Amino acid sequence: MAFIVTDSCIECKHTDCVEVCPVDCFYEGPNFLAINPDECIDCGLCEPECPVDAIYAEDELPPDQIPFIELNEKYSKLWPNITQQKEALPESEKYKTIRNKIDLLRD
């Protein structure tokens, strides 16, 4: 089982989670992070680090976030690996409480 990055990350892309990941399983897209489920060791260190509560254990995923299982797997195979913390996106404060942002996800 893996941890999953969900809708809340879109247009925020805080990378606090990346800094604590012992296996470097995060991948960076233009406005979203993805976790490679084959690399994630289910340690849970990333979940409490996310300031917008965008990371869930797969078995605790809210029903409306189920599509993100497939999206994390897909994008983690397409995007470059990220191993160091960066600044959040410039408008992250504006987007942090907005839900249902999947239409804003960019490849």
Global pTM? 0.96
pLDDT tens digits, residue range 25-44? Answer: 999 999 999 999 999 999 99
d(CA 30, CA 34): 11
What per-residue confidence (pLDDT) applies to 12? Answer: 96
Structural domain includes residue 96: no
Weakly modelled stretches of the chain, pLDDT under 50: none
Structural domain includes residue 101: no
Structural domain includes residue 92: no
What per-residue confidence (pLDDT) applies to 1? Answer: 85
d(CA 53, CA 65): 12
Q: Look up the domain containing 28 and give its range.
A: 3-84
Structural domain includes residue 100: no
Structural domain includes residue 68: yes
CB 101 within 8 A of CB 64: no
User: Could you give the count of Cα atoms lying within 13 Å of 43 in the half-sphere of its Cβ?
Assistant: 15
Structural domain includes residue 106: no
CB 76 within 8 A of CB 82: no
Q: In the beta sheet, which residues pair with residue 81?
A: 27
Residue 85: CB atoms within 10 Å: 14
Structural domain includes residue 58: yes
What per-residue confidence (pLDDT) applies to 30? Answer: 98
What per-residue confidence (pLDDT) applies to 31? Answer: 98
